Structure 1
Amino acid sequence: MIRILVFALFVLALAAGFAWLADRPGELSIIWQGQRADMSLMVAATLVVSLVAAVMFSWWIVRVIWTSPHSIQRYFRARKRDRGYQALSTGLIAAGAGDAAGARKMLGRTKGLLSADQEPLIHLLEAQAAMIEGRYDDARKKFELMADDPETRELGLRGLYLEARRLGANEAARQYAERAAEKAPQLPWATEAALEYRSAAGDWDEALKLLGDGRSGSPEEKKAHARRKAVLLTARAAAKLDADPKGARDDAHQALKLDENFVPAGLIEAKAYLREDNLRKAATILEKLWKATAHGDVAKLYVRARSGDSASDRLKRAEKLEALRPNNAEALYAVAEAALETRDFALARTKAEATARLSPRESAFLLLADIEDAETGDQGRIRHWMNQALKAPRDPAWTADGVTAPEWHAVSPVTGRLDAFEWKTPVSELQGPVEEGSSDAVDEAIRTLPPLAIEAKPVAVVEEVVTVEKAEAEAPVVVATVVEPIPVKTVTPAKTPEKVKAETVEEKEEERPFYGLPDDPGVKEGVVKRDGTSGFRLF
């Protein structure tokens, strides 16, 4: 574009000069070696311009002839290079598509057209072709050569890292990632891998140092950086909570500045204040976090902030949580649990049933079973709530890659991924074939039983109740009920109409809501013992 503009300006200037001479006519006389030549000024100017043009054209002809061998050589070299790059591009595409034969063919053609010293991508194509063909040792050697070359160092380290991960050599993969992060910290994969390895080793200081300040980048990148820094600060705070509560509190406070609704950081800061007997600040943090998240762990820590409090004090704090977040399942559950400890069964039952209505889950029905056991001891109702708990969804828990934990952790124990744990309802896994005689077989049988048709025949009820002391994680109570027929000698007395009716009645259980009457009426008087000394009837 610039050349066209310069040429146009030159033509305009030349035309303006000739026009200027045409407006000012004159005569020009030249005497050279006794000869006189008279001509007009316009003719003289035309002769000068033509002479300059002739000289320039002659110089161009001479230059073309002089440089023609080099131009011809350069043309064929460029054509060969273009063919080589075309073969290289085709080979890389074939390698990406898994075409080992095509990649090997294009590799041979590329080596004949290009030099590996001038084009490092030839090493990449050769390594990819070797990996497709299963020659991993050759591929690793090529990646090592690339890692020693400054131009291809990052690419070679990336290949070595992936190969080490494939072989399960985690220590070698960590070293390659650390080396790549040191040489090129702008590589996301290297920083991510090195960060995960340092986090898995619990080296939180080095992980924070590697993470950097994160001042540059887009708003999304800055937000992700702040989240990761909050996670690392919280993990470091959790590690030093027992030995250095003040340091843990400072780290957790910094994490809350980065993410004000990050529950693990708030819990650790509150625990640090409780270690310092500062209940007021701990309660302030937990109340603010409760208003924003209504998290179950926040409710547990808030209600049981001081171990020496009475049950009525815990009930008051649970009611305060309910006042802050009315009609919330976690608040209602906290009130019901605290009311059960104070033996206020009416309040506990009301709140527990409200919890089950809002969020039907395992712990709500187990709490109803505990209330029934403490108030009435009715085994039929207790089994009813246990049955509802078996069918209800599990409670929310800290979950990462299919693994649940009672407390939050910064790194997944399965994949080593940072910030993997989420507070959610665990997904039930499909179970394989259950071995006969195992405890899982009993549970599986209970889950797969059809609706029970009550028959008037002597049975003995054998119960196995496994009670697990409740920790903060609310371990579920497992109840297995096995109904076994007892052999009874056949007696043929004269049957009365009432007996005939009792033997032929069959009822199908109707599905009742969780707050209705229990589907298991329990054991009435006259329980049959295993020696057959007495009998009983269900109805």
Structure 2
Amino acid sequence: MIRIVIFFLLILALGFGFSWLADRPGELYIIWQGQRVSMTLMVAAVLVTALVVAVMIGWWLVRTIWTSPQSMTRFFRARKRDRGYQALSTGLIAVGSGDAPLARKMLDRTKGLISSDSEPLIHLLEAQASLIEGKTEDARKKFEAMAEDPETRELGLRGLYLEALRVGAHEAARHYAEKAVEKGPHLPWAAEATLEYRTQAGRYDDAIRLLEGQRVIAGMDRKVHDRKKAVLLTGRALSRLDADPKGARDDAQMALKLAPDLVPAATTAAKAYIRENNVKKALSILEQVFKLTPNMELVTLYLSAGGATAQEKVKRSVKLQSINPGSYEAVYAVASASLDARDFETARIKAEAAAKIAERESIYMLMADIEDAENGDQGRVRHWLAQALRAPRDPEWVADGQVSQFWLPVSPVSGKLDAFEWKQAYGPAPGAIEDQAGNRAEQAFRSLPEPVTAMPVKDAEPEPVARTFVTEPAVEQMVAETNAADAAPQGERTKPELVVVDEAAPKPAASQELPFFGRPPDDPGVKPVKAAASGKQGFKLF
């Protein structure tokens, strides 16, 4: 665009110059070798301009003819290079799509058109073609050669790292990641892998230094940086909790400043304070985190901190509910503490409220404990245990689909940093019973004694029910009438009438039932056999 503007400006200047000369006519005389040449000023200007143009054209022709061999060479070289890059591009696409024959064909064509010394991508195409052909040893050697070249070092180290991970050589992968971080601190994949390896090895100080370097060099996002640093600080706090409670407390508190909702940091800080006999501070930390993230680990530690008595647990659980009244964990804490304090009425009410908030295995287990502790009613206990079998499992620490009883800074499966989540590992469909060896409800259900069937007791009267009976006097009357009918003449025989008497006695007044949440129990258990009443026992015909 700029060149076009300049060209038009030159044309405009020439036109303006000729116009200026045309407005100012004059004569030009030239005497050369005794000859006098006269012409107008306009003609002289035109001749000079034509002469300059002719010289320029002549110079261009001479220069073109003189440099034509080199121009032809460059033309064919560029054409060959273009064909080579086209083959290289097609080969890389074939590698990405898994077309090994086409990738190898394009590799051979590329090598014949472009020198591998001038184009490092040829080495990558060759290594990838060997990989999809299954020639892993050739690919590894090619990546090693690339790692020695400063221009392709990072690419070669990444190829070696991925290949080591593929074959399960984690020590070699760690070596390549460390080397890549040393040569290229800005590489995100190398920094992430090295961070995870150092954390797995317990080298938290080195991991934190590397993370701080990434914050400066790679421009890591502040939130991501703070979260990862909090996880690393929590891991270091856990590792030094037994040997250095004060240091563990400081690390955990620093982690909470970076990630206020990190439950493992809160529990670690609280345990450190408890070991220093500062229970009040430990409870304060747990309360702050529970307000943000209700968690059963926080509840368990909060209620048991400092060897609290049953009444102290009730007071603490009530305070937890005031902090986060709508959470399942807070209501469950009140129910559990009330059960320990033998306040069965409150425990049952709170348990029912927790079950309405969220149906979980733990709340039905707690209901079974309440029934067992208060009444010893095995029928109700079995009912709640059956409900627990059908209910979704409680949230647990889960990483890469695996459940762990404890939180860890890295996943034991993939080694990923901050992989653990507090969530339900799985949930059965409504009505389905889980068949898991580790299911607490199933273990408790199977541990109950089998129901005993009552044997007939002499002179014992079964529990009266509303039925229709045919009594013994009625049977005697039926027999007598039948015999009389048989003895009567043929014409006088009458059909005997069946006398049916309803002797259903009313149920005895039962003891006042306790409030029952949910549907009636699946197995009401064995009722105590009552003493037989005096008098004749009714005979059941049906």
Which bin holds the TM-score, normalised by the shorter protein?
Answer: 0.7 to 0.9
Cα distance in 2 for partners of 1:138, 1:273 equals 58
Question: After alignment, is 172-181 or 18-27 more displaced?
Answer: 18-27
1:245-264 matched pairs, under 5 angstroms = 245-264=245-264
- Contact preservation (8 Å) 2:229, 2:255: yes
Cα distance in 2 for partners of 1:277, 1:197 equals 36
CA spacing shift, 1:265–1:474, aligned 2, 3 Å: farther
**Residue equivalent to 1:519:** 522
Cα distance in 1 for partners of 2:309, 2:233 equals 35
Amino acid paired to 2:184: A
- Contact preservation (8 Å) 1:402, 1:427: no
- Name stretches of at least 5 consecutive residues in structure 2 with no aligned partner: 456-468, 472-515, 530-542
Cα distance in 1 for partners of 2:239, 2:441 equals 25
1:456-471 matched pairs, under 5 angstroms = none
What is the CA distance between 1:447 and its match in structure 2?
A: 6.4
- Contact preservation (8 Å) 1:304, 1:314: yes
CA spacing shift, 1:188–1:88, aligned 2, 3 Å: same
Question: After alignment, is 382-391 or 74-83 more displaced?
Answer: 382-391
**Residue equivalent to 1:328:** 327
- Contact preservation (8 Å) 1:145, 1:156: yes
**Residue equivalent to 2:373:** 374
Show CA shifts across 1:460-491 (max 9, x none). xxxxxx9x9xxxx98985322686999x9xxx
- Contact preservation (8 Å) 1:216, 1:222: no
**Residue equivalent to 2:93:** 93
What is the CA distance between 1:61 and its match in structure 2?
A: 0.6
CA spacing shift, 1:319–1:356, aligned 2, 3 Å: same
- Contact preservation (8 Å) 2:100, 2:132: yes
- Contact preservation (8 Å) 2:215, 2:225: no
**Residue equivalent to 2:160:** 160
- Contact preservation (8 Å) 1:315, 1:339: yes
**Residue equivalent to 2:394:** 395
Does 1:9 pair with 2:9? yes
Aligned partner of residue 38 in structure 1, secondary structure:
strand
Does 1:41 pair with 2:7? no
Aligned partner of residue 414 in structure 1, secondary structure:
coil
Cα distance in 2 for partners of 1:19, 1:246 equals 95
**Residue equivalent to 2:313:** 314
**Residue equivalent to 2:301:** 301
- Contact preservation (8 Å) 1:366, 1:477: no
Cα distance in 1 for partners of 2:434, 2:296 equals 28
1:127-206 matched pairs, under 5 angstroms = 127-206=127-206
Show CA shifts across 1:278-318 (max 9, x none). 333323222221221222222222222212x3210111010
**Residue equivalent to 1:223:** 223
CA spacing shift, 1:276–1:476, aligned 2, 3 Å: farther
- Contact preservation (8 Å) 2:230, 2:254: yes
Show CA shifts across 1:379-399 (max 9, x none). 111111111111111111111
**Residue equivalent to 1:478:** 444
Amino acid paired to 1:426: A
CA spacing shift, 1:264–1:150, aligned 2, 3 Å: same
What is the CA distance between 1:73 and its match in structure 2?
A: 0.5
Cα distance in 2 for partners of 1:116, 1:226 equals 44
**Residue equivalent to 1:434:** none
Cα distance in 2 for partners of 1:17, 1:390 equals 103
1:1-80 matched pairs, under 5 angstroms = 1-80=1-80
Amino acid paired to 1:343: R
**Residue equivalent to 1:535:** none
- Contact preservation (8 Å) 2:231, 2:409: yes
- Contact preservation (8 Å) 2:185, 2:214: no
Cα distance in 1 for partners of 2:270, 2:10 equals 82
Q: Determine which structure has more spread, i.e. the larger CA radius of gyration.
A: 2
CA spacing shift, 1:338–1:482, aligned 2, 3 Å: closer
Question: After alignment, is 53-62 or 13-22 more displaced?
Answer: 13-22
Show CA shifts across 1:184-239 (max 9, x none). 22222211211111111121111111112555699993322221111111111221
CA spacing shift, 1:369–1:475, aligned 2, 3 Å: closer
Aligned length: 470
Cα distance in 1 for partners of 2:362, 2:451 equals 29
- Contact preservation (8 Å) 1:363, 1:476: no
Aligned partner of residue 479 in structure 1, secondary structure:
helix
Aligned partner of residue 413 in structure 1, secondary structure:
coil
Amino acid paired to 1:105: K
Cα distance in 2 for partners of 1:292, 1:447 equals 32
What is the CA distance between 1:32 and its match in structure 2?
A: 1.5
**Residue equivalent to 2:509:** none
Cα distance in 2 for partners of 1:3, 1:31 equals 41
- Contact preservation (8 Å) 1:177, 1:191: yes
What is the CA distance between 1:246 and its match in structure 2?
A: 2.4
Cα distance in 2 for partners of 1:192, 1:374 equals 53
CA spacing shift, 1:477–1:157, aligned 2, 3 Å: same
Amino acid paired to 2:158: R
Show CA shifts across 1:84-118 (max 9, x none). 11111111111211111111111111111111111
Amino acid paired to 1:246: K
What is the CA distance between 1:171 and its match in structure 2?
A: 0.4
**Residue equivalent to 2:425:** 426
Cα distance in 1 for partners of 2:310, 2:166 equals 56
Aligned partner of residue 398 in structure 1, secondary structure:
strand
Query: Percent of aligned pairs with the same residue?
Result: 60
**Residue equivalent to 2:82:** 82
- Contact preservation (8 Å) 1:318, 1:338: yes
Cα distance in 1 for partners of 2:248, 2:18 equals 89
**Residue equivalent to 1:493:** none
Amino acid paired to 1:354: A
What is the CA distance between 1:254 and its match in structure 2?
A: 2.2
Show CA shifts across 1:140-188 (max 9, x none). 1111111111111111111111111111111011111111122122222
1:489-508 matched pairs, under 5 angstroms = none
Cα distance in 2 for partners of 1:475, 1:252 equals 35
What is the CA distance between 1:416 and its match in structure 2?
A: 1.1
CA spacing shift, 1:304–1:327, aligned 2, 3 Å: same
Question: After alignment, is 59-68 or 226-235 more displaced?
Answer: 226-235
**Residue equivalent to 1:411:** 410
**Residue equivalent to 2:338:** 339
Aligned partner of residue 67 in structure 2, secondary structure:
helix
Cα distance in 2 for partners of 1:350, 1:4 equals 89
Show CA shifts across 1:384-434 (max 9, x none). 11111111111111111222222221111111111111011111599xxxx
- Contact preservation (8 Å) 2:295, 2:329: yes
Cα distance in 2 for partners of 1:206, 1:478 equals 47
Cα distance in 2 for partners of 1:497, 1:383 equals 37
